[in-house]
Structures are given as structure tokens and as C-alpha cells.
Amino acid sequence: MTASDQDDRARRTDTRPPNKFSADLGEVGSAVGGAWAAANAMRSAADQARAARAVATRSATLASDADRELVSSRLEDAYAHGRLTQQEFNDRTDRALTARTHGELDAVLHGLGGLRVEPQEARSHPARKVVFWVSAFFTGPFLFLASMLLLFGDGLEERVWGVVLLVIFLPGVLALHRWAWPKLRDLSQLT
């Protein structure tokens, strides 16, 4: 390519009208970026509101005797480490033993370096999960057959058999799932 060909090519690219598509694309990009930032701000505000509701719900839930005993043992530990005086220990222990809600128990532990009463999670033994997966393996084909009969059955009789099979097998699998993975005792932990 000669120098005059390069000059002609440069003049042609310089004399072209500006690309309207690239300008519109830039505007669209900035609009999408602004919308993205606004959506993230709304999401974080919603998350903060959900967390505040969870804290309020948790504070209002009634405490059990085990929770009160746990707070008392934590107060004893704090007293043993010198974080409480004898008078503070006695006052807080009295308040802990008469507390009705988790919020009152949290107030008793206030100022003790992050101690807080957390509801205990329901624990599951690994054998429960094995039992669930073995039963799911053997009932899976029946659930699949029931779904196919219900969805793609030719007549009413096949669809009824699909419903019957689902009614027989699905509740058992769902019950085993709940047994293998028990839910948390306190819903406020799901924040």
C-alpha cells in the first residue's frame, strides 16, 4: 500500500458522519448503569429492613428455661473473668432468671463483649440424610412415572393413576426430607 492510498483511506474515515449507533449505545449503557445502581440501593434497603424485622421478631420471641440457664452460665463466666462486679453479677442474674423474651436476655448480656443468646439449631445426624437419599433413590422412579402419567396420560384413567401415585409417594419423601434436614427453631436466624 502506498502513502497516497493511506492518505485517501484516512480522509475517507475522517469525512464519515459520526456513528449514531455508538452514541446511542453509550447512552443506553449509562442508563443501564444508573438503573443497576438504583436497584442495588433498593435491594440493600430491603435487606436492611428484613434484618430489622428479624431482630424485632427475635427480640419478641419467648425465652425458654434453657435460654435463661445459658445466659446465667455466660454471666458466671463473665464474673469469673472479672468483667462483672459481684453486684452487677447478682443484678444481671436476677434479670436473666425473670426474663420472658430473648430481647430481655440480650439486654442482660449487653456490654459483655459480644455475648448473645443464639437459639440452638436443630441438628441432624448424617444417617438421616443417608436414609433420605436411599429412599429418594427407590421412590424417584415412581414419582417420575406419576408425573409423566399426570402430565402426558392419554385418558382420565392414566391421569388418575398419576395422582394416586403422587399422593402415595410424595408425602413420604417430603416428610423424610424434613426429618433429614430439620428447620431452625427460630425463624429470625434466616436473615
**Sequence-distant (≥ 6) Cβ neighbours of residue 79 within 8 angstroms:** 86, 89
Tell me which of 35 and 178 has the higher pLDDT. Answer: 178
Length of the chain: 191
Q: Is residue 136 part of a domain?
A: yes
Q: Is residue 13 part of a domain?
A: no
Q: Cα–Cα distance between 120 and 31 in angstroms, integer?
A: 47
- Total domains in the chain come to 3
| Contact call for residues 149 and 159 (beta carbons, < 8 A) | yes
Q: Is residue 104 part of a domain?
A: yes
Q: Take residue 61 and report the three cell numbers written for it.
A: 420471641
Q: What does the pLDDT read at residue 116? A: 56
Q: What does the pLDDT read at residue 179? A: 87
Q: Is residue 148 part of a domain?
A: yes
Q: What does the pLDDT read at residue 96? A: 87
pLDDT tens digits, 13-58: 555 555 554 555 566 566 666 666 666 667 677 677 776 776 677 6
**66 and 56 in a common domain:** no
**79 and 38 in a common domain:** no
Q: What does the pLDDT read at residue 19? A: 53
pTM beyond cutoff 0.85: no
Q: Take residue 21 and report the three cell numbers written for it.
A: 449507533
pLDDT tens digits, 111-124: 886 555 555 555 67
Mean pLDDT throughout 64-75?
86
**73 and 51 in a common domain:** no
**70 and 97 in a common domain:** yes
Q: Is the pLDDT reported for residue 187 higher than 50?
A: no
Tell me which of 144 and 123 has the higher pLDDT. Answer: 144
Range of the domain at 30: 23-60
Q: Cα–Cα distance between 146 and 173 in angstroms, integer?
A: 14
Which amino acid belongs to residue 180? A
